[in-house]
Amino acid sequence: NDCFYHVKPKVAELTHSGNAVVDKCIITFSTLIMEVDILMEKARSTFYNALIVYGED
């Protein structure tokens, strides 16, 4: 999913801990957080309304 690649500044530009492993972990988790936010918004706009009325008589 490339929805968040236009975000400025890029996550990789913000990580300068001096430790490559820590930087990679920060980049990985930050990217996952952004993707979860995108998927949550997509779920809200696509599925929530259908789930609200599902099961009502």
The DSSP code sequence of the chain is --TTTT-SS-HHHH---S-HHHHHHHHHHHHHHHHHHHHHHHHHHHTHHHHHHTT--
Please report whether residue 6 resides in a domain. Answer: no
Tokens for 8? 């400025």
Q: Which residue has the tokens 């975000």?
A: 7
* Residue 36 confidence (pLDDT): 93
Which pLDDT tens digit goes with each residue over 1-50?
455 556 556 777 777 778 889 888 988 898 899 899 999 999 888 888 88
Q: Is residue 38, in this structure, part of any structural domain at all?
A: yes
Structural domain range at position 49: 11-53
* pLDDT exceeds 70 at position 57: no
27 found inside a domain: yes
**The total number of structural domains that make up the chain:** 1
For residue 41, being part of any structural domain is answered with: yes
Angle value at C-alpha 45, between 4 and 34, nearest 5 degrees:
25
Query: 1 in a domain, yes or no?
Result: no
